[in-house]
Amino acid sequence: MLDDWNKWITRQLFTLKSNGLQRNLIQTSQATQPILVRHQAKLINFSSNNYLGLANHPKIIQAMKDGMNEGASQASSRSLVGTSKAMKQLETELAKYHNHEAALLFSNGYMANVGVLSSFLSHHDVVLSDRLNHASIVDGIRLSQAQHIRYRHNDIDHLQEQLQKIDCGKKRIWVVTDTVFSMDGDIAKLQELVLLKQRYGFALMVDEAHGGGVFGSQGQGVVEQEGLSPHVDIHIGTLSKGFGVYGAYVIAQSNWIDFLINRCRSFIYTTSLPPVVISGIKASLQLVKQGDHLRKDLRKKSVYFRNHLRDFGFHTFDSKSQIIPILIGDETKTVLFSHKLEQRGILSLPIRPPSVPVNTSRLRFSILASHQWNHLDQALETIQQIGKEMGVI
């Protein structure tokens, strides 16, 4: 019996390797800095989500050191003795930040998405989800057993077509979208989604994992930037990317949050975030609110980098954010491009199926506010050279 398992696992791994899809864990240091170290080499880092550079901010690090005085762990789940005064204060502050009723902290974005979707939805319900939504959204929907309809990426007409087929009188409907798509770097058509919501009366959930910190008047995200916050029923924010710390939160009406406290299994059955993390988030939130200069700098650098790649002839999808992919297509070629970049001092990791559809393998460049302009210029020159060598441009 065990032999069968072993044979199957070996076969699976062989197939992944033969198709250029095997993932390996490679030791990396200074991973949140614009220059990181891998295989003893210094590389310009285009693979971090530390968009505003806050993961290394002295104020956050000091706050986390101070937080250590409360002990290394909360050693309990939230509903037992794992809710501290600092956590309650932070949740109140997060709700105020979003000008909404209530907030609830989660261990991370994956658990927030899986927990929220599987708590609110059941097999009676229908959920429509953008085809490029994050894996945690897909997993949450699967766990809920709701009818799952994936509409074509950012295709509002296709979404409407699907909505028209549903008997709205009988079914409760939920629509969920990332705001900034992590693989294409483009942005959800939120205004149009809100118009559809007004027509069809569905609940609207957004995942601001890559919009948080980066967009919005104080970094609240794309929804706030577009003035649509009152139309969103569930807002998921993550604290490990733009905020540079760890964790996630949900913003919603008080009774929706109370429901999660009582029903959400990924919230209830896990140890709460440790005090150091809470202290770090609190410090980060202040910096994000005051971080307009960082947001502007990041935007300027992103536009510069993307425009140059487009001018060279790369296909950068519909990127409108700090996430800038270039299409390579074939998986093996994408891996080779990435290797060549690494040999010349640049780290951009290949993104392949199942993270993206077959034949759309790409290299993804994440721009950081902490990148120096010469980092960007050096990278652009090298990308152009390799692109020509490999016949991509």
Ligand X SMILES: Cc1ncc(COP(=O)(O)O)c(C=O)c1O
Q: Which residues are catalytic?
A: 182, 210, 241
In the complex, what is the shortest distance from the CB of residue 109 to ligand X, in angstroms, rounded to a whole number? 2
Q: Single out the residue of 46, 51, 97, 110 in contact with ligand X (rule: CB under 6 A).
A: 110
Return d(Cα 363, Cα 305) in angstroms, integer.
14
Which residue, 321 or 361, is less far from ligand X as judged by CB?
A: 321
Contacts with ligand X by CB under 6 A: the residue count is 14
Angle (nearest 5°) at CA 372 between 286 and 225 = 40
Binding residues among 364-383 for ligand X as defined by CB under 6 A:
none
Which residue, 178 or 224, is less far from ligand X as judged by CB?
A: 178
Return d(Cα 192, Cα 157) in angstroms, integer.
10
Binding residues among 273-312 for ligand X as defined by CB under 6 A:
none
φ/ψ region of 171 (left if φ > 0, alpha if ψ in -120 to 50, else beta) reads: beta
Q: Single out the residue of 53, 109, 140, 221 in contact with ligand X (rule: CB under 6 A).
A: 109
Return d(Cα 226, Cα 357) in angstroms, integer.
29
C-alpha 371 chain-centroid distance: 20
Backbone angles phi, psi at 187, to 5 degrees: -125, 140
Counting contacts by CB under 6 A, is residue 32 touching ligand X? no
Counting contacts by CB under 6 A, is residue 45 touching ligand X? no
Nearest Cα neighbor of 319 from 220, 225, 183, 193 is: 183
Task: Specify whether the CB–CB gap between 140 and 170 falls below 8 A.
Answer: no
In the complex, what is the shortest distance from the CB of residue 81 to ligand X, in angstroms, rounded to a whole number? 24
Q: Single out the residue of 52, 176, 187, 248 in contact with ligand X (rule: CB under 6 A).
A: 248
Half-sphere exposure of 244 (CA within 13 A, CB side): 30
Which residue, 60 or 248, is less far from ligand X as judged by CB?
A: 248
Task: Specify whether the CB–CB gap between 314 and 392 falls below 8 A.
Answer: yes
Return d(Cα 31, Cα 348) in angstroms, integer.
12
Which residue, 185 or 387, is less far from ligand X as judged by CB?
A: 185
Counting contacts by CB under 6 A, is residue 153 touching ligand X? no
Counting contacts by CB under 6 A, is residue 238 touching ligand X? yes
Counting contacts by CB under 6 A, is residue 240 touching ligand X? yes
Which residue, 193 or 380, is less far from ligand X as judged by CB?
A: 193
Among 22-30, 76-84, 202-210, 383-391, the segment contacting ligand X (CB under 6 A): 202-210
Which residue, 95 or 209, is less far from ligand X as judged by CB?
A: 209
In the complex, what is the shortest distance from the CB of residue 188 to ligand X, in angstroms, rounded to a whole number? 11
φ/ψ region of 210 (left if φ > 0, alpha if ψ in -120 to 50, else beta) reads: alpha
| Start-to-end C-alpha separation, the chain | 51
Mapped onto helix, strand or coil, the DSSP state of residue 178 is strand
Counting contacts by CB under 6 A, is residue 136 touching ligand X? yes
Which residue, 186 or 207, is less far from ligand X as judged by CB?
A: 207
In the complex, what is the shortest distance from the CB of residue 303 to ligand X, in angstroms, rounded to a whole number? 22
Q: Single out the residue of 134, 197, 282, 320 in contact with ligand X (rule: CB under 6 A).
A: 134
In the complex, what is the shortest distance from the CB of residue 36 to ligand X, in angstroms, rounded to a whole number? 18
Q: Single out the residue of 196, 209, 222, 324 in contact with ligand X (rule: CB under 6 A).
A: 209
Give the list of residues 6+ apart from residue 188 with CB closer than 8 angstroms, or none: 130, 154, 177, 178, 179, 180, 181, 206, 222
Residue 332 CB: number of other CB atoms within 10 A?
A: 15
Counting contacts by CB under 6 A, is residue 355 touching ligand X? no
The footprint of ligand X (CB under 6 A) covers 108-110, 113, 134, 136, 178, 182, 207, 209-210, 238, 240, 248
